[in-house]
Amino acid sequence: MKISTTKTALKVIMFNSLKAHLSNNFFSKYFNEAICQSCHKSITMLNSEKNILIVFLTFFLFLTGCGPDKPDDGESTAFVIDYHTTQIIHFEDYFDFENVTYVFLGDDNSVFLSDNLQIEFTGKYFFVLDKGYAQLYRFDNHGSLINKIGRSGRGPAEYYNPGFFALDAKSEAIDILSDNGSTIMTFNFEGDFLKEFSTPLIVTSFDRLNSNLYFYYTGYHNSPNFHRLHRADTTQILESYLPLKTQAIDMVEMNFSPKAEYGYFRETFFSSVYKYDKDGVVELLTLDFGIFEITKEDLEKVIDPFDFFQKIDNEGFCTTVSLRAGNDIFCVVTLKQGSGDARISHFYVNIADSTYNRVVSNAKQDATNAFFSQLRPVHIDLEGRVWFLTNPFDLQSFLETRTDYYLGYTIPEEYLNPLLIILPFKDNS
């Protein structure tokens, strides 16, 4: 059999299998970013005949990932959240829908966006990386487009396959991860190109704390020492964290929640949220998923990835899927998946007060459940309001179903971009 024929056949199998596994609406929306990142990696891997089977397994192992581990060998002092808590509040009762605000992104048809977006905020602006159209934008807080940042291409000062970006609000600079994770390009807020450098390893996401202190996330297969997180002086690795050696295929989906001089991050299929700063990494909080947790020991025992995937899919598992941190409040989104069923929950955590609430949708209407399940928190502002990314179609269906909510806005029929919905907490939440 010719290798080109084998590659073509396996590509069809991979994408058909991926489509089938991601047919669930909840799962596909949250893992869209991970799919795009690994597609970039897999295209490169297909150039080698010996890696074809590995690429095939990678798509299946989107759903397995890695178990939690601690940055050091000491006793963990992380705040523990009981996933099975009875302290459950329905999101219709948790948020104040009477004081909702919408932010339309480029509502004057100045920009057309896909639904695969990374959004980061500064005090005056927010920035949107559209990974579908490979373009970075700056908006004001009302959703009006200010300018584009650079452009996609192969020429000088152009980024290729941008996968992630980080802001340095103090110096008004933006770092963009380019060329499938091998290059970081720096622009100013006006969109002017400043510099670029090659990363010390293949990076899937990162944060910059000052002019030269970076935290790189790689996934363990990209790391020479099987660690997933690395503190670096630009290109020189200073220390590595979170070791894991397993026969399971790499899992690279995660997100940072930056806070200038420090930040927080989580990984898919890990139950922990970590804080990082110039001194290193500590485990801040962890969710106790009980029997649905995938542990580090589970991953280290994997011999056959297919058997492992089938086992956890049949038995069910839990994972974090999103994280945003405000000044006092953390929002951690979780997914319980198994046997064709999925359940999204939001945990709103105040570590200072050692309190948390699990927020779910209790509505019987499919439209309400669908709307809640696809909400993605992207910002918690100084007023304590949560900014969610949503799409106009699920939002419109929700509004048509919940006629008892007067939200004060009508979505224009011609508006097709994702939008932001800002929800304050109710006073008794």
Question: Between β-strands 88-90 and 355-360, what pairing exists: parallel, antiparallel or unpaired?
Answer: parallel
DSSP, collapsed to helix, strand or coil, labels residue 232 as strand
Question: Between β-strands 341-350 and 317-325, what pairing exists: parallel, antiparallel or unpaired?
Answer: unpaired
Q: What is the per-residue pLDDT across 73-99, written as a single tens digit (0 to 9) for each?
A: 456 789 999 999 988 999 989 999 888
Fold of 3-423: Neuraminidase (2.120.10)
Q: Is 129 exposed, middle or buried (0-12, 13-18, 19+ CB in 10 A)?
A: buried
Q: Looking at the whole model, is its pTM more than 0.85?
A: no
Q: What is the per-residue pLDDT across 373-418, written as a single tens digit (0 to 9) for each?
A: 999 999 999 999 999 999 999 998 888 887 776 666 678 888 899 9
Hey, what are 107's tokens? Answer: 């509502």
Nearest to 42 by CA among 64, 65, 62, 22: 62
Nearest to 202 by CA among 224, 186, 185: 224
pLDDT above 60 for 62: no
Residue that the structure tokens 């970590």 belong to: 274
Beta strands per DSSP E along 83-204: 88-90, 101-104, 117-121, 125-130, 135-140, 145-149, 164-168, 173-178, 183-188, 193-198
Q: What is the per-residue pLDDT across 1-49, written as a single tens digit (0 to 9) for each?
A: 333 333 333 333 333 443 344 344 444 455 444 444 444 444 333 333 3
Q: Is 80 exposed, middle or buried (0-12, 13-18, 19+ CB in 10 A)?
A: exposed
Decide: 304 and 316 in contact? Cβ < 8 Å.
Answer: no
Q: Domain extents for the chain?
A: 3-423
Q: Is 231 exposed, middle or buried (0-12, 13-18, 19+ CB in 10 A)?
A: buried
Nearest to 337 by CA among 317, 311, 314, 360: 317
